[in-house]
């Protein structure tokens, strides 16, 4: 569901919200392909954490398997002169080095965003959603093609093996003497001594599955071995299927030598051995089926993530504060004592929101501290706090101690926000000045004014 999808979407940023992460450092976000398990994410994290150049280095890296994304934090080597030597171009070069390192490790990587933690620059949410959807489709199509190819060869291979198993085993089990003549007597039900045409047919059917469908497992196993000697699931699949395939090939070779008495090989008991080409082919087929189903399930999550991203508005209506309001805010700022915060509701209590000047801005240009105007039925562009509401009975900041229960519930009217997109709550939530509102939620009944408190990936 969408709540689980939202949790998957924000897991990277939650991992960075710890005491070791310096919010002033630069960050970069990447899209990483070909990750299939926790071993893959661990390998990508090791690649990223090992990257550094003469000016800066990677201090932290977090990889998300559900979204195929990675986020890294950069820090300057010389913290004293960081402002002089660590420009955005330096971090851009380091991000390119990160992408190159991970790509060489077998996980194709591209840069989504490079910038400081305090500024959200780069691709929009819609661009990220489109990129994620395209990656999901490519991955699903790849596994579907491999699965169909594997089934095309494995099904007839299994049918051949099962159809001949009883008669072949029954005939060979009666031969205990080790002479060619007796073996031929007990194999009257067979067309000829092994290897038979059916053995060669099994070899021809198993080979494409082993080396075409299984090539993806071989490549992943090879990458794991040369980069950190990691033996993950793909290594085990490659090892098991290769063992079964090589055993069958060796049996065929020995049976050929025995059949034609080449190189002095005369042990007729070798003819009792049977090949196991179907074992490796069926194992690869079942693992590929599992990969396809996993990719399909992850596609559902990616689809939910894309739906969430598409709920985010691509533009916002920013308020151009008139001189009188600016002066009022400055006076309130000057009157603050200690850690007190400005009561923005007090500053805007007499403002006419319907006539205030506004301008349309791209969501990427919205900054913390901006005032945004949201019309009835409009989506809130980003996280913020409610400042004012236009309409009959404007909401004030009440003293709860002086109100009875009915006044606490209404008190002249509230702003109602539909937060069902991420909370699942079917009814609009009443909001008063100072209450938090969240991006992608829907304003219901009246014009409202909010002050931005978070943008981009910092939002809920």
Tell me the pLDDT tens digit for each residue of 81-105.
655 566 677 878 888 899 988 888 8
Q: Tell me the per-residue pLDDT of 139-191, one tens digit each, with 9 for 90 and over.
A: 889 999 999 999 999 999 999 988 877 665 555 555 544 444 444 544 444 44
Tokens standing for 440?
A: 């992608």
Residue 190 dihedral angles phi and psi, to the nearest 5°: -105, 150
Please state the rounded mean pLDDT for residues 298-309: 68
Q: For the residues 321-348, what does the mean pLDDT come to?
A: 79
Q: Give the sheet arrangement for strand 429-431, strand by strand.
A: 429-431, 415-418, 442-443
Contact 36, 234 (CB under 8 A): yes
Q: Are the C-beta atoms of 30 and 99 separated by less than 8 Å?
A: yes
pLDDT exceeds cutoff 80 at 260: no
Question: How far is 167 from 159, CA to CA, in rounded Å?
Answer: 14
* Tokens 């045409």 belong to residue: 197
Any residues with CB less than 8 A from the CB of 79 and at least 6 apart, and which? none
Half-sphere exposure of 99 (CA within 13 A, CB side): 18
Q: Residues 419-442, buried b or exposed e (16+ Cβ, 10 A)?
A: bebbeeeeebbebbbeeebbbbbb
**Measured between alpha carbons, how far is 108 from 349 in angstroms, rounded to an integer?**
54
443: left (phi over 0), alpha (psi -120 to 50) or beta: beta
Q: Other C-beta atoms within 10 Å of 103: how many?
A: 17
Query: How many percent of the chain have pLDDT more than 90?
Result: 16
Residue 46: asked if its preceding bond is cis (omega within 30°), the reply is no
Contacts of 417 (CB under 8 A, 6+ apart): 380, 428, 429, 431, 437, 441, 442, 443, 444
Distance, in Å, from the CA atom of 125 to the CA atom of 186, rounded to the nearest integer, reads 72
Tokens standing for residue 123: 């691709």
d(CA 347, CA 332): 8
Please write down the HEC assignment for all residues of 418-453. Answer: ECHHHHCCCCCEEECCCCEECCCCEECCCCEEEEEC
CA separation for the pair 295, 137 (Å, rounded): 9
Tokens for 225?
């071995």
Contact 413, 384 (CB under 8 A): no
Of 34-38, 343-347, 368-372, the range with the highest mean pLDDT is 368-372
- Alpha-carbon 416 to chain mean position: 34
Q: Taken in order 264, 269, 271, 273, is the CA torsion positive or negative?
A: negative
Q: What pLDDT does 288 receive? A: 95
- Report the alpha-carbon distance of residue 80 to residue 159 in Å, rounded: 72
Q: Is 81 within 8 Å of 87 (Cβ atoms)?
A: no
The confidence band for 353, taking pLDDT boundaries of 50, 70 and 90, is: confident
pLDDT value of position 457: 64
Closest by Cα among 29, 40, 8 to 291 = 40
- Residue written as tokens 């169909």? 148
Q: Which has more confidence, 46 or 190? A: 46
For residues 302-317, give the mean pLDDT. 72
- CB–CB of 77/191 below 8 Å? no
16 backbone dihedrals φ, ψ, rounded to 5°: -90, -10
- The whole-model pTM stands at 0.63
Distances (CA, A) of 36 to 67, 131, 228: 11, 18, 17
Four-CA torsion 78, 84, 90, 94, nearest 10 degrees = 10
End-to-end Cα spacing for the chain: 17
* pLDDT of the residue at 303: 66
- d(Cα 457, Cα 310) in Å, to the nearest integer? 14
- What lies within 8 Å, CB to CB, of 329 at 6+ separation is 321, 342, 344, 347
What are the pLDDT digits (tens) for 430-459? 888 888 898 888 998 888 999 998 887 667
Q: Return the higher-pLDDT residue of 176 and 426.
A: 426
């Amino acid at each position: 569901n969408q709540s689980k999808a939202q949790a998957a979407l924000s897991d990277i940023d939650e991992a960075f919200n710890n005491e070791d992460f310096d919010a002033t450092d630069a960050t970069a976000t990447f899209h990483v392909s070909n990750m299939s398990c926790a071993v893959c994410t661990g390998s990508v994290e090791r690649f990223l954490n090992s990257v550094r150049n003469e000016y800066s280095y990677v201090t932290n890296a977090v990889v998300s398997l559900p979204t195929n994304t990675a986020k890294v934090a950069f820090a300057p080597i010389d913290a004293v002169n960081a402002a002089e030597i660590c420009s955005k171009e330096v971090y851009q070069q380091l991000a390119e080095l990160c992408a190159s390192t991970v790509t060489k490790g077998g996980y194709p990587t591209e840069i989504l965003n490079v910038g400081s933690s305090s500024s959200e620059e780069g691709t929009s949410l819609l661009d990220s959603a489109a990129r994620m959807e395209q990656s999901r489709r490519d991955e699903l199509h790849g596994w579907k093609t491999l699965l169909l190819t594997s089934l095309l060869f494995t099904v007839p291979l299994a049918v051949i093996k099962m159809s001949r198993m009883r008669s072949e085993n029954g005939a060979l089990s009666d031969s205990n003497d080790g002479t060619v003549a007796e073996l031929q007597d007990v194999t009257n039900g067979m067309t000829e001594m092994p290897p038979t045409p059916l053995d060669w047919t099994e070899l021809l059917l198993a080979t494409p599955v082993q080396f075409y469908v299984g090539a993806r497992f071989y490549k992943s196993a090879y990458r794991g071995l040369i980069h950190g000697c990691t033996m993950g699931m793909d290594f085990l699949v490659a090892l098991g299927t290769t063992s079964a395939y090589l055993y069958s090939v060796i049996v065929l070779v020995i049976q050929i030598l025995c059949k034609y008495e080449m190189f002095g090989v005369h042990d007729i008991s070798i003819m009792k051995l049977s090949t196991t080409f179907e074992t490796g082919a069926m194992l690869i087929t079942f693992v590929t089926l599992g990969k396809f189903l996993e990719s399909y399930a992850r596609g559902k999550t990616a689809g939910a993530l894309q739906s969430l991203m598409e709920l985010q508005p691509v533009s916002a209506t920013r308020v151009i504060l008139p001189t009188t309001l600016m002066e009022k805010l400055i006076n309130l700022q000057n009157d603050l004592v200690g850690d007190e915060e400005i009561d923005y509701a007090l500053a805007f209590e007499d403002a006419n929101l319907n006539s205030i000047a506004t301008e349309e801005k791209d969501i990427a240009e919205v900054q913390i501290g901006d005032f945004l105007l949201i019309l009835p039925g409009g989506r809130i562009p980003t996280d913020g706090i409610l400042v004012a509401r236009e309409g009959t009975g404007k909401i004030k900041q009440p003293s709860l101690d002086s109100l009875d229960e009915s006044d606490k519930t209404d008190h002249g009217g509230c702003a109602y926000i539909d937060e069902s997109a991420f909370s699942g709550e079917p009814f609009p939530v009443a909001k008063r000045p100072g209450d938090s509102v969240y991006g992608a939620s829907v304003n219901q009944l009246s014009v409202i004014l909010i002050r931005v408190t978070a943008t981009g990936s910092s939002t809920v």
